Amino acid sequence: MSMAVSRFEVRKQLVLEEANAIGTSFLRAQLLPAPAGPEIAKLLRQYVTVRVQYGTAGNDLARLDALHTQSAHLQTELWTQAAT
C-alpha cells in the first residue's frame, strides 16, 4: 500500500507541475504581440485538450500512442513559435 501511495503522490505532483507550467506559458503568451501570442495560446489550448484526453484514455494503448504523438507534435509547434 505504501508503494502505491508513493507513486500516486509522485504522479499528482507531476500533473500539478505540468498544469502550472502550462498556466504560466499561457499567461506569458498573453503578453506577446499578434500573431505570435494568440497562436501560442491556441496551441496551448489544444495541448491541454490532448493531455486531458491522455489522462482519461485508460488502458487503450492505441489511443494513448496517438495522443502521445499529438502532444509531441504540439510541443514541437510551440517550440517553433517560441523560437520565432
Structural domain for 42, as ranges? 2-83
Cβ-contact 54, 64 below 8 angstroms? yes
Residue 33 DSSP symbol: P
Cβ-contact 67, 46 below 8 angstroms? no
Cα separation, 49 vs 57, in Å, equals 12
Give the global pTM: 0.84
Predicted pLDDT at 4: 75
Task: Please state the domain count of the chain.
Answer: 1
Encoded amino acid at 70, one letter: Q
Residue range 25-83, pLDDT digits in tens: 999 999 999 999 999 999 999 999 999 999 899 999 999 999 999 999 999 999 999 88
Of 24, 54, 42, 35, residue with least CA distance to 78 = 42
